Every structure is written in structure tokens, then in C-alpha cells.
Chain A
Amino acid sequence: MGRTLAEKVWDDHVVRRAEGEPDLLYIDLHLLHEVTSPQAFDGLRKSGRRVRRTDLTIATEDHNTPTIDIDKPIADPVSRTQLETLRKNCADFGVRLHPLGDVEQGVVHVVGPQLGLTQPGMTVVCGDSHTSTHGAFGALAFGIGTSQVEHVLATQTLPMAPFKTMAITVDGELPEGVTAKDLILAIIARIGTGGGQGYVIEYRGSAIEKLSMEARMTICNMSIEAGARAGMIAPDETTFAYLKDREHAPKGADWDAAVEYWRTLRTDADAVFDHEVVIDAAELAPFVTWGTNPGQGAPLSASVPDPDSFTDPSEKLAAAKALEYMGLEPGKPLREIAVDTVFVGSCTNGRIEDLRSAAAVLKDRRVADGVRMLVVPGSVRVALQAVEEGLDKVFTEAGAEWRHAGCSMCLGMNPDQLKPGERAASTSNRNFEGRQGKGGRTHLVSPQVAAATAVLGRLASPADLSDATELAGV
């Protein structure tokens, strides 16, 4: 019987297989950041162990880093200690680190791909759930806990429990104005935040094949919000073109050998998935969340749902609780929800293409009065590219704040936070209670919707903008 993409990559990494034990898998790339690594290094130190493969390990600072005044000492003592600890650990153990201020610094899931370190057919791990991002290259990439981080540091392997396979096939043409973010939000709303539990999801179909690498990363990034272990997309010409000539991509004869292998990384025609979902791209529309988990979303043209419309009692209860937290009434059109803050950034939508599409909407327009808009590039390289293209000017001239790279308001571990009761349209991936600041309310959106929302001060898509200007008689 044929094998799926995920099964092929898995099989190629089995170091040891024994009856009644989980497979021991080899890890090709281990990404580290300051939050989940300190105790792992401390554990190594206590047991007198070393990092087995420093040449397969790389660290960046992202979660705690400030996005303004980056040359000043970090005020919060906990953040400061975490960053200082990472610096010491990387120095002590010989791990490559891109600290704040370095040109390669940025959100770990933006940095790996942009350096060309993430490649098809690899196993990639990081003490961070959004490691699934790297699956966009046809890599098997998953988030791990701190004790597993220590295990990988010491052995470059991980015992892994088996997974189930799911295919999500998206065929057809995405309508104008519908992005990868809308697609993944619609998928999560359809299968639920637990729908992917235990599965590695493979996204396939003609609509997926047409997506850029950046859009594919957006999709795989949020696989975890559907509860999946990982998300993957088979590598193709788009993948190879993205990787060609990147710093760590194979060169010369190695490149040819690599591409030859990468071309085999496709699900066999006779392979069987444990579960299949089919989605018609043409039916999709800009999608936003109204609740407090990423599955509580709806097309922008819809209204806030009535909790009573849910048949499942736990969903009903969750919806009622979410609406209370979000301060929303059932029946209110989503387009009438006013926001105070707009955040463009994160490992979901903080890459150059995301900034380009937000800037295209903002060009020659202004952020509405009373709305604060933060644009936080996913990495320093993304920021430099944006500056070269003049995008930073578009943002600042529109009245948005152009910040330094990092996770920023995606989780508010640094000072970029919502205040209690504040409402944000955010291009990040989690709308949990308090995720962007205690009491803060989050609507997950695409970069285009974020930009249009900033202009109108209420949830909107770019298509709403021309109407709005006409109505206002401008």
C-alpha cells in the first residue's frame, strides 16, 4: 500500500523501532527561543551532558523582546532574565544565537525558513506549538515541551507516539480578497479546535498548490489551532524556487540530489488517509473570529451567532461564555464591531507578503481616529525588506506604528499588550481570553482585513473601503 507524505518523512527518520515502544526519530533541526529552553539547558548542566549536535541547533530571541527602544535595557526583570539566560546557555553550550539587535533576529518560525534552514523532508522541532509552520515545506514539524527540548539537545532524537493522517483538500479558485488566513480560519471553524487531535494534516488540492510559500506557512502555522500534531504541504516548484540560493539551502551537486529526493515527497496515489475533508475554495469569503477560540469564526458578512443556535451543549455554553467575555450581543453584524487596536504581525502573518498586502490597502489612506495600529515585522530581515520597498513609510504615513521585529502583541509577553476591555483585530493565531493582555478582546483576521479595519475603525474587508469613502463623500 502507498504511503502518505507524513509517513514517508517519518519512516526516513526512524533511528530505532522496537515492539511495544514508540519509534525513536532523528531530528534534523532544533529551534530554540528564550521561554522554553532554560530548564532544558539547566537539566543538561545538572547531568553533565552536552548538546549533541550544535550544528543542527539554532536559537533566536523573540517572545520577550521589546519592539521599541531596543537599545535600552529591558525593564521587566523576568523578560530580562530569560533573555540573559538564553545568551549564557548558548555561549556555554556552543549554540548559534541571533539576539535582539542582530540582523537575523526575529520570530523563530520566520527566521528558520528565511535562512533556508527549513527544507522538505526534514524533521523540525521547537519548544513552541507553532512549529507546525515549517510543515509548509513538506517537513514534519512539531512543537515539544521543555523536557523534550532537553531530550533533543542531548540526543538529537525524540521518542514519538504514532499519529493519524488527515487530508484536507481545497480545490478551485480562491475568490478575490480571500487569503490563506481566511482559508485556515474557515477550516478550523469547520473541523473545530479539537478536530485535528492526534492527526498530521496534509493540505492538498489545486487551491493549495497555487499558494505562495508564505501563504502555505500561514496555513500550516494554524494547524495547531485545529488541535493537530502538525500540518504539511507537499513540496513542489514553488517550494524549490523559494529555497534556491537561500543561505543554508544546498548548493551545486547537493542541490540536485536534494531536489531529486524532495520530488519523491508526495503522497502516493494509493495511500489512504485516516480522515478526509474536502473544501471548495470558491465558496470561501473573508473570515474573522467572534469568540475566544480560533474555531469560533464566521464570514465577515455574517453576524454574531446566537449561542442557542448551537446544538452541541458544550459549544452552546462556550459560545455564551465567549460572547460575554468579548462583550458582544448575538445578531450584531460582524462589520459593525468597532476596534481600538489593529495588530499586523506574528509567525502567522508577519512575513513580507503579509506586510505588502496590508500596505497595499493602507496606501493613500489613514488609520481611523482613535485606532492604534501596530505593524510588527516577523524578523529583522522582513523589516529591512519592507523598508527597501518603502512599506514602512506607507504604514507611518497612514498613522500606524512601525515597530521592531518580535512576537510582540501576539502574546503580550513584552509591553505590547491590550488593556482590559480593549478590542483588537489581529493577524495572529490565538484569540484566547487574555492572550493579548489581561481582559483584552481579540478578533483574528487576515492582513488585508486588518488594514481595512484600521481605516474604518470597525471590522471590514478592502472591498468595503471604496463604498465607505463614497458614503463619506470624500
Chain B
Amino acid sequence: MEAFTTHTGRAVPLRRGNVDTDQIIPAHWLKKVTRDGFEDGLFEAWRKDPEFVLNRPERQGATVLVAGPDFGTGSSREHAVWALQNYGFKAVISSRFADIFRGNSLKNGLLTVVLPQETVDRLWELTEADPTAEITVDLVERKVTAPGVEVGFDLDENARWRLLEGLDDISITLRHEEDIAAYEAKRPSYKPRTLPV
């Protein structure tokens, strides 16, 4: 997983609350057998409307999603996180995330930042008025800055450390590779193998 220290990019203001994972990536996309290629499924139903914010030319290349409260509710599908990442988002800001979605996002290196709703409102106004306005999400300093906005955010220390180091679950386990090898060296010879040795 890619390390996250600080990121600066243009924003997509998404003025909707309670966006569930089925809206983020509809169920029929789950038949895919890869972890990428979900970008076209992101908010698929809404994107049929040419006026939908993601379709606006001035939003192309934006990397920070500023969403309404209760983002990521519903089914636990990890594909929702993949879809946001495949599309190019590096961070999502909201005043409240669904727990499982938040867990999935941090595990996959998508930074979800919780800010008070007034700040989210200000970021919406700001980025709607000026599509070129940039938002900086700084994980080192744990703060979000934008023209006229500077606000700190909380993130538990373990999740922050993992993001800063770019460590996924597997990398963390592999830091204990020696323990695994030591265990393997002691495994009894009668334990079965699936392949001839």
C-alpha cells in the first residue's frame, strides 16, 4: 500500500448525506475478479446525469472528495473503497463515516478525514465558488488546509502510523517474518502437504 504523508489536490463537493456503498459502487460490479477497473462504476447511477458534479469538466483530475454526513453506510463491500481509489481519490472528508467503510478505507490507504459539519460546509462553499481551489490534507501535522481554512483532525495513532508508513495488514505481519520462519522450523513432519516435496 502507498504511504500517505500529505496530499494537495482539487476537490469534488458532494452535497449528499447518507451515501451508501451501493450508491458508491452498485452490486453488479462485484462480479469483477480484479481490484481495479472500478472507476467507471463509481456513483454509476448519478453519473448518468451530465450535470452531476463528477461529470463537470472543471472537476476532472480532482482528488479530494468532500462528502455529506454518514458516508459509506450499507453493505461492507471493500469495492467501494477500491472504486474511489481507482477513480483517483486520495482522501474523503465528511462529518461522519460508517464504521466498516472507514475501517476498509484506512486499511487500503484511502484517508478518511472527519471534520465538523461547519468546516465541511465551508469547504463546499469554497470549492463550489472556485473549482481550482486546492485542499491540503496533511497527515503528518494532522490538519486540513484550504484558502481561509485551517483545521486539525483526529485519527487514532495506530491507523496514522500505518498510513504514514504505507503498511497494510500483510506488511505488518511480514515484519514478524522471523517469528513465522521460527514457527515453521518447528512444525512436525507429519503435518500434510498438498504438493509433493
Binding site for B on A (CB under 8 A): 15-16, 24, 26, 28-29, 38-39, 42-43, 46-47, 49, 52, 54-58, 78, 81-82, 85, 96, 116-117, 119, 122, 146-147, 150-151, 154-157, 159, 248-250, 254-255, 257-258, 261
Contact = CB atoms under 8 A, between A and B. Distances in A.
B35 interface: yes
B148 interface: no
A55 B197 contact: yes
A97 to B, nearest CB: 10
A76 to B, nearest CB: 10
B34 A42 contact: yes
B197 A150 contact: no
Given A56-B194, A57-B194, A254-B190, A24 B179 contact: yes
A55 B194 contact: yes
A15 B183 contact: yes
A258 B194 contact: no
Interface residues of B, number: 28
Interface in B1-15: 1
Given A26-B183, A96-B194, A155 B173 contact: yes
B107 A117 contact: no
A117 B191 CA distance: 9
B180 A156 contact: yes
A56 B170 contact: no
B166 to A, nearest CB: 11
A89 B174 CA distance: 22
Contacts of B188: 257-258, 261
Given A39-B34, A46-B35, A49-B170, A16 B179 contact: yes
A42 B35 contact: yes
Contacts, number: 96
A265 to B, nearest CB: 13
A16 B180 CA distance: 8
Contacts of A154: 170, 173-174
A160 B176 CA distance: 15
A307 to B, nearest CB: 28
A57 B192 CA distance: 10
B169 A159 contact: yes
14 contacts: A15-B179, A26-B180, A26-B187, A28-B192, A47-B1, A55-B194, A151-B169, A151-B170, A154-B173, A157-B173, A159-B169, A248-B192, A254-B189, A261-B190
Given A147-B78, A151-B170, A155-B174, A42 B33 contact: yes
Interface centre among B107, B188, B190, B192 (most CB of A within 10 A): B192
A248 B34 contact: no
B195 interface: yes
A187 B170 CA distance: 38
Interface string B164-176: 0000111001101
Contact of A29 (B176, B184, B192): B192
A16 B195 contact: no
B170 A119 contact: no
Nearest to B182: A15
A128 to B, nearest CB: 16
A24 B107 contact: no
B173 A150 contact: no
Given A24-B173, A26-B184, A119-B191, 19 more contacts: A15-B183, A28-B192, A39-B33, A42-B34, A42-B35, A52-B180, A55-B197, A82-B33, A96-B194, A116-B192, A122-B192, A147-B169, A154-B170, A155-B173, A155-B180, A157-B173, A159-B169, A248-B194, A261-B190
A26 B176 CA distance: 12
B195 A54 contact: yes
Contact of A55 (B1, B36, B174, B193): B193
B56 interface: no
Contacts of A155: 170, 173-174, 180
